[in-house]
Structure 1
């Protein structure tokens, strides 16, 4: 296996950076050069960068019933390319103040699903679209009691209208197979749980 490229502190040279748009999110335009695998610096590149807060996503899992809690809500990004822009997703929120990712996971579980999470199991941290966005996602499985979960939740002042579903894990995995669950965080978390279910249930049951 070949060695991974290990860039030094001078591997990227920012020639210019300007903010093109500043709202809830920010769009920056950068002119930069970066070091090449073969050595030396490459040509000047122009790149737009979507600047976002880091996000936290958590899959609530009931190890006693072998069920997961999923939420359903409208997503504008799916409106033009999906027949149904109401997506089945994980509980999620942005780290937009001085909070730890675990705090965001617990807060959002209450706000979006009326769930109090027990133990949190870190799955991974990943970049969902690093070609044009600096967003980083912290991904967890959270222990929960799914009995009585359901209804419609969310913060009215944020325009949230979130329906809660409790599904057997096997049904959720089938929804990944047939494309009904079609967003990255949900697919990653459910596939991870499928691979690690025995260990998780052994420790949480």
Structure 2
């Protein structure tokens, strides 16, 4: 075997919200030996996430919604998250702008692409594109809340960034993409952008 990896067999186990697939592969290790591995991959499609922030007031927009894994695992009735959604064939920027308005009710004017990352690459194919965008209270064009026909029942939260960061430490915010974007906001100094520009 010359290549590092050879897929021996692939089988779709289940197809619903996403596709669950079992793979058998031969993997050449760094020492040159070949090892047969079996892995299962779950693919729900790629997505995008955005942090809406108001540097003038020091606030961020988050959403609270029901998530079945958190309920089954810990009995949590909801999670607090940044706005996010699956791409469903659209490019990340177009999709996250539409998703933000559906979920939060805020019109996004300038979504700035930050970076991409795999959510949980040990078994999930999903890759997220992360964005940030400034907002102001005048950008509110609707109530948000998501789409009822998609089973969404979303509460919109507007919080000071410092409160949201404290909620990570208290365990109120446990969603990885949200933690990542809130920490990015702190490290990148997003709340100081307005002051330094003036």
| TM-score after normalising by structure 2 | 0.90
Which of 50, 60, 67 in structure 2 is aligned with 1:58? 50
The Cα shift of 1:49 comes to 0.7
CA distance in 1: counterparts of 2:15 and 2:76, whole angstroms: 30
Which of 12, 15, 19 in structure 2 is aligned with 1:26? 19
Which of 11, 36, 51 in structure 1 is aligned with 2:4? 11
- Give per-residue Cα distances to partners, 1:140-194, cap 9 Å, x unaligned: 1121114686956111110110000100111011111111100100000000100
Kept after mapping to 1: 8 A contact 2:47/2:85: yes
SS at match of 1:81: helix
- 1:110 matched to 2:101: yes
Gaps of 5+ in 1: 1-8
**Who is 1:95 aligned against?**
87
TM-align CA RMSD: 2.1
**Who is 2:124 aligned against?**
133
CA distance in 2: counterparts of 1:179 and 1:152, whole angstroms: 25
Which of 150, 153, 161 in structure 1 is aligned with 2:153? 161
Cα gap change, 1:101 to 1:203, in 2 (>3 Å): farther
Kept after mapping to 1: 8 A contact 2:29/2:35: no
**Who is 1:77 aligned against?**
69
Gaps of 5+ in 2: none
**Who is 1:4 aligned against?**
none
- Give per-residue Cα distances to partners, 1:62-90, cap 9 Å, x unaligned: 12111000000000010122242311001
CA distance in 2: counterparts of 1:141 and 1:109, whole angstroms: 11
CA distance in 1: counterparts of 2:165 and 2:88, whole angstroms: 31
Cα gap change, 1:11 to 1:146, in 2 (>3 Å): farther
SS at match of 1:131: coil
- 1:119 matched to 2:119: no
- After the TM superposition, list the runs of 4 or more consecutive aligned residues in structure 1 that deviate by more than 3 angstroms: 146-152, 198-205
